[in-house]
Amino acid sequence: MPKFLIFTHLSPQGRKHVRNDPASLPNLTEELSGVDAKIVAQYAMLGPQDFLTIVDVPVPLDGFKLAVADRGGEGVIRTVVPAIDLPLFVRLLGQTTETVGPHRWQITAPARAVRSVLQAHYVGSTVKKYLKPLEIRGTENVADLKGPAIFIGNHTSHMDSSTLLYSIPKRYRTRVYFGGAADRWFLKGRKGIKKQGWWQSLVYGSFPVHRAGGSKGLDYPKWLIDKGFSVAIFPEGTRSGSGRLGKFRHGVSILALDKNVPVVPLYMSGLAAVRPKGAREMQPAPVIASIGRPIRFEPGTTVSDATHRLQKAVEALRDELAPKEPASVSS
């Protein structure tokens, strides 16, 4: 998770209130619960600022600033500053920010033929090794699905994409494409074949997504759908550190409404035990992937209503699995 520093300054009115009632000291624990943040440390400061709170939060800076700005009591002024650890900062100083892709050749027949072979070796073998077993429910909901579609799911692990890929109908596996963070998977000049953007495009069907790309970030997915292919997107935008389902962003709704394609919701349970966020090693664990019925939006549906419906669909799948979710496997 990225770290943020929250500086809290009390106005004269706020200082007076704290003096009269020490129990009213600013406490961000409850205030930050809605943005899935984890408080690392809190300090009282002897300087221009009164308090410092260090947090880990898996949401974009702008969204986090907005969430924090709307919280807190009267007489409190807060400033949010992003932070990065020094060794990583030094490493990034010598790293280019130039990215490559998207690679449009990834939809060609030769590329898809090669992908089918490489997927079985690199993705399929990993799924078989660590998802023991992978139970797929709701396959009847997509038995008759044809043509371009958008597949969505919850995002808790690096194994989410692989699990989703091996849960959807086999006929879609070389015809579905996944968005990947451009500044992580598509940096120019990275060493090693498996770290190259073209490798991600070939083997995993990935394409670069710029975190602050705005509406232009949907141009390539729209092009893929126009060509008859499908896309897979995690509407939360980032992996959840707590396992809770985060608030969906509007990109999927905009894409589905613009291209009039169905959205297939999935909920994947148990992946946090295989490879949780921040972990490097994986361990076998049972996983359940539940597939919901494709959702088609009526003409005139608003983006916000569509996003709300999609979130409720994934939440319903989660709730159906709640009593039956596989337990974590200890190492």
* pLDDT at 276 exceeding the cut of 90: no
Strand, coil or helix: what is 8?
Answer: strand
For residues 83 and 111, membership in a common domain is answered with no
Containing domain of residue 65, as a range?
Answer: 3-91
> Is 178 within a domain?
yes
In this prediction, residue 247 has a pLDDT band, given cuts at 50, 70 and 90, of: confident
Q: What's CA 123's distance to the chain center, in Å?
A: 19
In this prediction, residue 157 has a pLDDT band, given cuts at 50, 70 and 90, of: confident
Mean pLDDT confidence for 252-265: 97
For residues 84 and 199, membership in a common domain is answered with no
- The pLDDT value recorded for residue 330 is 36
Residue (of 82, 59, 1, 69) closest to 246 by Cα position: 59
b vs e for 19-29, b when ≥16 Cβ sit within 10 Å of the residue's Cβ? eeeeeeebebe
Q: ∠81-86-90 over CA atoms, to 5°?
A: 115
For residues 123 and 158, membership in a common domain is answered with yes
Phi, psi angles (nearest 5°) of residue 245: -75, 120
* pLDDT at 59 exceeding the cut of 60: no
Residue (of 296, 298, 299, 288) closest to 313 by Cα position: 296
Q: What is the CATH number of the domain that holds 119?
A: 3.40.1130.10
For residues 170 and 198, membership in a common domain is answered with yes
Residue (of 83, 66, 101, 92) closest to 247 by Cα position: 66
Q: What is the CATH number of the domain that holds 55?
A: 3.30.70
In this prediction, residue 66 has a pLDDT band, given cuts at 50, 70 and 90, of: low
In this prediction, residue 154 has a pLDDT band, given cuts at 50, 70 and 90, of: very high
- The pLDDT value recorded for residue 241 is 59
For residues 55 and 130, membership in a common domain is answered with no
For residues 130 and 262, membership in a common domain is answered with yes
pLDDT digits (tens, 9 = 90+) for 277-310: 667 789 999 999 999 999 999 999 999 999 999 9
b vs e for 77-115, b when ≥16 Cβ sit within 10 Å of the residue's Cβ? ebebeeeeeeeeeeeeeeeeeebbbbbeebbeeebbeeb
For residues 152 and 86, membership in a common domain is answered with no
For residues 159 and 307, membership in a common domain is answered with yes
Give dist(CA 41, CA 62) in Å, integer.
22
For residues 261 and 150, membership in a common domain is answered with yes
Q: Are 119 and 165 in contact (CB under 8 A)?
A: yes
Provide the number of structural domains found in the chain: 2
Q: What are the C-alpha distances in Å from 261 to residues 13, 168, 214, 258?
A: 55, 16, 21, 8
> Is 98 within a domain?
no
In this prediction, residue 220 has a pLDDT band, given cuts at 50, 70 and 90, of: very high
Strand partners, 187: 99
What are the helix and strand counts (H, E) for the chain? Answer: 13, 11
- The pLDDT value recorded for residue 96 is 66
* pLDDT at 329 exceeding the cut of 50: no
